[in-house]
Amino acid sequence: MQDDAPREIEALIDLMARLPGLGPRSARRAVLTLLKKRGQLMAPLAQAMANVALNARDCVICGNIGTADRCAICADDRRAIPEICVVEDVADLWAMERAGVFKGRYHVLGGTLSALDGIGPEDLRIPHLAARVRDEGVAEIILALNATVDGQTTAHYIADSLSGAGVAITSLAQGVPIGGELDYLDDGTIGAALRARKRF
Amino acid sequence: MQDDAPREIEALIDLMARLPGLGPRSARRAVLTLLKKRGQLMAPLAQAMANVALNARDCVICGNIGTADRCAICADDRRAIPEICVVEDVADLWAMERAGVFKGRYHVLGGTLSALDGIGPEDLRIPHLAARVRDEGVAEIILALNATVDGQTTAHYIADSLSGAGVAITSLAQGVPIGGELDYLDDGTIGAALRARKRF
């Protein structure tokens, strides 16, 4: 029996199916859409992807992804305030930037500590963070790690390892999200919000 | 405020978000995965996509997508039996091929008739099908169109237009799908299965 699609197209479907959110079936559907829009969508997408694959590089200072050795944020002098926001991932950095409230620079760890997966401090960019605190005259480290077990373990490790560095260490507040309904919140969040209650 | 991702990456996210099954959010997640796997996944995917965009072409005979003027099925002499299976779309042709039970050649209409969307017979490959019936000595046309209103309207139109061509016109049986439970089937399917009942 012969293949249901030509070999080149099967190869493309297999690669697409490795993207998060796409399985074999939806990858096939996506490729069919691309095949129908070869000129308007498929060729520009291939070009954009090749362009980014060629030009994207990790910022040597913070680990953000940009198109130069220093990312746009590290290259921006207006953001040279003595605060560094530590995030797990570039996705988290983008989320902070969308919120548009932090005016300083970032440090992207590239993951969290995980004993199970054998990820230690030297696998992340934690030693690099200590060097930046020493060299850049940082006054405050804001830990914006995810409120997961691994994220909080990593936050505690960083706070411990920087405890003698003479820098203020803060973390994002935990509590009821804007628009959140108590009925739908987990017990842990309600407990954290109660403990951190403020005068009204 | 500056962009949350560099311009080239934003452009890639915008293009990815135009694929079916991906929205702006999941496109961003897919692009982040690509950025993390620039060498292993992003560069090969861009290459495969450019390759297909450059080489894929519609078969001049049946409308299937291949890498030559005649698709692999039309070029295969073993499939030169006097039966043509008519499908709406290349996806349906692939589904038929996966089932592996049809040994003849196909005719891909490229959609269905639709008065609402202004799609008439000349917008599909229906005139081309009539020419094939005349020229190729076809004995049977198997209508494998979707069991939707538009699909069945199109099937009736094709059957009518070929009624004087001296060719047998059949369509896929309708009934209970393999593994189907009556309790979950719609009334129309149960009705069709009852009307088409067979001696056990």
What would the 3-class secondary structure string for chain B be? Answer: CCCCCCHHHHHHHHHHCCCCCCCHHHHHHHHHHHHHCHHHHHHHHHHHHHHHHHHCEECCCCCCEECCCCCCCCCCHHHCCCEEEEECCHHHHHHHHHHCCCCCEEEECCCCCECCCCECHHHCCHHHHHHHHHHCCCCEEEECCCCCHHHHHHHHHHHHHCCCCCCEEEECCCCCCCCCCHHHCCHHHHHHHHHCCCCC
Q: Is residue B193 part of a domain?
A: no
Q: Is residue A67 part of a domain?
A: no
B103: which 2 tokens?
């040994």
Residues B34 and B94 in one domain: no
Q: B93 pLDDT exceeds 50?
A: yes
Q: Is residue B88 part of a domain?
A: yes
Chain A residue whose CA is closest to B6: A66
pLDDT reported for residue B27: 94
What ipTM goes with this model? 0.80
CB contact under 8 A, A19 and B1: no
Is B80 an 8 Å CB contact of chain A?
no
CATH number of the domain bearing residue A35: 1.10.8
For residue A42, the 8-state DSSP code is I
Residues B42 and B97 in one domain: no
Of A9, A73, A93, the CB nearest to B56: A9
HSE-up (13 A, CA, CB side) for residue A65: 27
CB contact under 8 A, A4 and B34: no
Q: Is residue A50 part of a domain?
A: yes
Q: B1 pLDDT exceeds 60?
A: no
Residues A36 and A84 in one domain: no
Of B8, B89, B94, the CB nearest to A55: B8
Q: B2 pLDDT exceeds 50?
A: no
- Angstrom distance (rounded) from CA A173 to CA A73: 24
Residues B44 and B89 in one domain: no
Q: Is residue A199 part of a domain?
A: no
Of A29, A46, A93, the CB nearest to B50: A46
Q: B175 pLDDT exceeds 90?
A: no
- Residue B29: domain span: 7-55
Residues A49 and A86 in one domain: no
Chain B residue whose CA is closest to A44: B15
Is B98 an 8 Å CB contact of chain A?
yes
CA neighbor of A134 nearest in space, from A72, A71, A82, A77:
A82
Residues B86 and B137 in one domain: yes
CB contact under 8 A, A42 and B53: yes
Residues B88 and B166 in one domain: yes
Residues A83 and A166 in one domain: yes
Give the pLDDT band (50/70/90) at residue B124: very high
Q: Is residue A184 part of a domain?
A: no
CB contact under 8 A, B52 and A42: yes
Is A23 an 8 Å CB contact of chain B?
no
CB contact under 8 A, B50 and A50: yes
Distance from CA of B176 to the nearest CA of A (A): 23
CB contact under 8 A, B9 and A52: yes
Residues A161 and A87 in one domain: yes
Q: pLDDT by residue (tens digit) across B125-169?
A: 999 999 999 999 899 999 999 888 899 999 999 999 998 888 999
HSE-up (13 A, CA, CB side) for residue A27: 19
Q: Which residue has the higher pLDDT, A174 or A108?
A: A108
CB contact under 8 A, A28 and B65: no
Is A9 an 8 Å CB contact of chain B?
yes
pLDDT reported for residue A79: 93
CB contact under 8 A, A35 and B97: no
Number of domains in chain A: 2
Of B20, B50, B52, the CB nearest to A30: B20
Residues B82 and B123 in one domain: yes
Q: pLDDT by residue (tens digit) across B27-76?
A: 999 999 999 999 899 999 999 999 999 999 999 999 999 988 999 999 99
Residues B108 and B42 in one domain: no
Contacts of A69 in chain B (CB under 8 A): none
Q: pLDDT by residue (tens digit) across A81-137?
A: 999 999 999 989 998 998 888 999 999 999 999 988 899 988 999 999 999 999 998
pLDDT reported for residue A4: 66
Is A173 an 8 Å CB contact of chain B?
no
Residue that the structure tokens 């962009």 belong to: B3
Residue that the structure tokens 């081309």 belong to: B128
Residues B85 and B158 in one domain: yes
Q: Is residue A18 part of a domain?
A: yes
CB contact under 8 A, A20 and B35: no
Q: Is residue B165 part of a domain?
A: yes
CATH number of the domain bearing residue A89: 3.40.1360.10
In chain B, % of residues over pLDDT 70: 98
CB contact under 8 A, A11 and B48: yes
pLDDT reported for residue B99: 87
pLDDT reported for residue B4: 66
In chain B, % of residues over pLDDT 90: 62
